Chains A and B, each alone.
Chain A
Amino acid sequence: MLEVKNLHASIDEKEILRGIDLTVQPGEVHAIMGPNGSGKSTFAQVLAGHPGYEVTGGSVTYERQDLLEMEPDERARAGVFLAFQYPVAIRGITNAYFLQSAVNARRKEQGLEELDTLDFAEMLEGKLEMLGWDDSLIHRAVNDGLSGGEKKRNEIIQLAVLEPKLAILDETDSGLDIDAVKAVADAVNNFRSPDRSFIIVTHYERILNYITPDHVHVLAGGRVVMSGDMKLALKLEAEGYDWLTEAAGVA
């Protein structure tokens, strides 16, 4: 589904990613861990196509397409979803309207009829039921005046509605209390399926206790320095990142 080879990327001419390799098969859940500044979030942003980063080398193939050649909205419509670490506010636009526009942008490209407000509301209601969440966020403006936890929950609602093939969660667990982390994890588990893959970018092992990843990768200095399974995450939790960055020879 996704093959990243020797990916290099920089921002303002400063190189952040220095040769990332990663292969994700359909249905797999990959956790990307690493200390602050290791390039985790940059990697997530580059996959989604943030225009602030310049890709300076390597390749990314997503479902046999050159992902790096695609515009951010094309990537999204092709099934790549990024749950933002810092979701952005859009005043005066409700979450419901925003999501309806997003859904219809996809449907339009697929040659399907656009959903009207009623059909969309019905679909949305089904998703919320599945998540076990109420509709209190839906009629509020997109991330405008929402608390940190509400913003993250809102990202998960979007994920549920947009049904991506590849969902990238960028530190969705940061700043959440344990109940909220559990709620996010439950939602992810709910949406795991043989043809949907997840990349979970996180600083802490905490959320991985609830979403057992198939693979755990550790990023340091813009490279994957170690890969393993859940045991690696537990070791990081117990011992921190220092032993690893030292072993990898990065400061």
Chain B
Amino acid sequence: MESSAIDQHVKQPYKYGWSTDIESELAPKGLNEDIIRLISEKKAEPAWMLEWRLKAFRNWRKMEEPTWSNVTYPPIDYQAIHYYAAPKQQKAPESLDDVDPKLLETFEKLGIPLQEQKRLTGVAVDAVFDSVSVATTFKEELKKYGVIFLPISEAIREHPDLVKRYLGSVVPTNDNYFAALNSAVFTDGSFVYVPKGVKCPLELSTYFRINALSTGQFERTLIVADDDSHVSYLEGCSAPMRDENQLHAAVVELVAHENAQIKYSTIQNWYPGDEGGQGGIYNFVTKRGRCAGSHSKISWTQVETGSAVTWKYPSCILEGDNSIGEFYSVAVTNNHQQADTGTKMIHIGKNTRSTIVSKGISAGMSQNTYRGQVKIMKGADKARNYSQCDSMLIGDRCGAHTFPYIDVRNPTATMEHEATTSKVGEDQIFYCQQRGISEEDAVSMIVNGFCKEVFRELPMEFAVEATRLLAVSLEGSVG
């Protein structure tokens, strides 16, 4: 009774599953040094960048795809993917007027209008379509504050010194299999530099859209906050519904210098596959932040509702004394989705603090895993960690798993860990209904209450979006 009741909320179709009919320029399928040269050439990159990519590629070829995660998927044929796909255009657009209206329409339909009169207030957006950035809003306004917010391919050309200094400094090219792959073939993403003492006046945001068939998206994002600066950044994403699985392997690097703060939020809504588990995005992502300076702070907030398989661990390396790392996560899996996600907090500096709040919600036949590591190194006197991992099950055919790894090498450290598992039960729903609240509203209320500690960390503009998204991904899971 309960599972059939609870299963119906999940039937809502994926809202962003349409595709844009636009002519694409595609690199031939497959991965070899020529393809990498082609990508580098398309991006008009300097020679050092090409060398960097080739080195990563040579490393990648020696590496093996890892299998330790709690997810299963058929082997990926890396030679069957287009590593570059871009909408055909005469030349790089100088302004929005030169951008293909179909692309502007695409982003408008996704709720990300780019035109000056319609664009979101208070949020600067970089819109990435397949392998290229289509437009970046408020670029000029940000420049006045010295804030650089550019597609990374542009930053490589215009700010080579900054990029050279920081790219790969947090996630080395040989860090792991997917990071190496990304380093070899990354096509676009955003670059942010906030100079000393500047509090970035706008929310920065990148929206990633996969459109072309049989392509992979390999985004690369690099955010550097110099001394005493603040920045809040948000990424969003979606993809058309397709029967095939598409690979998205991103690398995100954050560097916070002395007293700097970076808040990085993600609303991940890649196509999750259909009810039978056909199609969907493989989301294999390496995200890491380095609190390089003392009193610096990096905060990751993620709301993961999409993708067929998610595999990511936004992490913090707490090098600077008194630095702070935070990880707030809501991961929702439904139907046949699998998520293995969590964080790593590496305490190196003295008095470093980290907070982990993870909320996993599983419905349908999905599997949801929290995997987290807290490591207190020898010199990290009086380091503190607080971890809280809560799992919620909707129905009785899904699974929730928690793997906390703790490694303490300094006796002055303080560690706290709490974990709970609960079930959205018939009784909770009945209780709400008995007060006049419909079943669907009841489920959404129960789930939102469960996620509250994470949602309140999101920038205000997006907290509402996250709440709505959650309701949509669970709609039909009760009936």
Contact status A48-B434, CB under 8 Å = yes
Contact status A88-B449, CB under 8 Å = no
Contact status B430-A51, CB under 8 Å = yes
| Most A-side CB within 10 Å, residue of B437, B439, B452 | B437
Determine the main DSSP class of B at the interface with A. helix
Contact status B448-A93, CB under 8 Å = yes
Q: Is A162 an interface residue (CB 8 A)?
A: yes
Contact status B437-A105, CB under 8 Å = yes
Of the candidates B5, B431, B436, B448, the one whose C-beta lies within 8 Å of that of A92 is B448
Q: Which residue of A lies closest to B451 (CB)?
A: A92
Minimum CB–CB distance from B5 to chain A (whole Å) comes to: 7
Contact status B5-A73, CB under 8 Å = no
Contact status B437-A73, CB under 8 Å = yes
Contact A72:B449 (CB < 8 A) given known A52-B1, A105-B441:
no
* Residues 31-81 (chain A) with a chain B CB within 8 angstroms: 48-52, 71-73, 75-77, 81
Q: Is A141 an interface residue (CB 8 A)?
A: yes
Q: Is A101 an interface residue (CB 8 A)?
A: yes
Minimum CB–CB distance from B431 to chain A (whole Å) comes to: 4
Determine the chain A residues whose CB is within 8 A of the CB of B425 once the complex forms.
Answer: 88
Determine the chain A residues whose CB is within 8 A of the CB of B451 once the complex forms.
Answer: 92
Q: How far is the CA of A77 from the CA of B432 in the complex (A)?
A: 12
Contact status A88-B428, CB under 8 Å = yes
Minimum CB–CB distance from B328 to chain A (whole Å) comes to: 14
Q: Is A196 an interface residue (CB 8 A)?
A: no
Contact status A50-B452, CB under 8 Å = no
Determine the chain A residues whose CB is within 8 A of the CB of B437 once the complex forms.
Answer: 73, 101-102, 105
Contact bitstring B113-131, A, C-beta under 8 A = 1, else 0: 0000000000000000000
Determine the chain B residues whose CB is within 8 A of the CB of A98 once the complex forms.
Answer: 432, 435, 445
Q: How far is the CA of A91 from the CA of B426 in the complex (A)?
A: 15
- A-B contacts, 6 of them at CB < 8 A, read A50-B430, A51-B430, A73-B433, A91-B452, A92-B449, A105-B441
Enumerate chain A interface residues (CB-CB to B < 8 A): 48-52, 71-73, 75-77, 81-82, 84, 87-93, 98-99, 101-102, 105-106, 141-142, 158, 162
13 additional A-B pairs beyond A49-B433, A102-B437, beta carbons within 8 Å, are: A73-B434, A73-B439, A76-B434, A82-B434, A88-B425, A88-B430, A90-B432, A90-B445, A92-B448, A98-B432, A105-B441, A141-B449, A158-B435
